[in-house]
């Protein structure tokens, strides 16, 4: 149930234009300070995971590993996506709460 909630919130975020997807767009959002949350697919390459872990740590942006590339892409209505960045603080807080409850 919680998994569906995360994906639903990502879809809403996309429709409100508060989400960017793809490695270059997500990395750019982290660098320019507009990203409030980064989600990297669990099946993304080790280099992609390390890149976002390091960038998010440096720029103090929360970063989570969640889902697969296919499930992330499906949630936002696109093809496969290895990384996405949420640009709205309210959406980001809600998604973080649901992601943290999944870990428990």
Asked if the model's pLDDT at residue 4 lies above 90, the reply is no
Burial 65-85 (b: 16+ CB within 10 A, else e): ebbebebbbbbbeeeebbbbb
Asked if the model's pLDDT at residue 13 lies above 60, the reply is yes
Sorting pLDDT into bands at 50, 70 and 90, what band is 102? confident
Sorting pLDDT into bands at 50, 70 and 90, what band is 1? very low
- Cα distance between residue 41 and residue 26, in whole Å: 13
Give the range among 1-15, 67-81, 88-102 with minimum mean pLDDT: 1-15
Domains, the chain = 2-103 (3.30.1330.30)
Q: pTM for the complete prediction? A: 0.93
| Token couple for 31 | 């660098």
Q: What is the pLDDT of residues 43-74, one digit of tens each?
A: 999 999 999 999 999 999 999 999 999 999 99
pLDDT at 3: 59
Q: What is the pLDDT of residues 26-47, one digit of tens each?
A: 999 999 999 999 999 999 999 9
């Amino acid at each position: 149930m919680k998994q569906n909630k995360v994906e639903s919130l990502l879809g809403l975020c996309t429709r409100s234009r508060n989400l960017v997807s793809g490695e270059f767009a997500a990395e750019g959002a982290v660098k320019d300070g507009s990203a409030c949350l980064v989600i990297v697919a669990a099946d993304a390459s080790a280099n992609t995971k390390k890149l976002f872990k390091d960038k998010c740590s440096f720029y103090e942006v929360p970063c989570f590993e969640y889902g697969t590339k296919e499930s992330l892409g499906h949630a936002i209505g696109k093809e496969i996506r290895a990384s996405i960045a949420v640009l709205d603080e309210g959406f980001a807080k809600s998604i973080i709460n649901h992601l943290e409850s999944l870990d428990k």
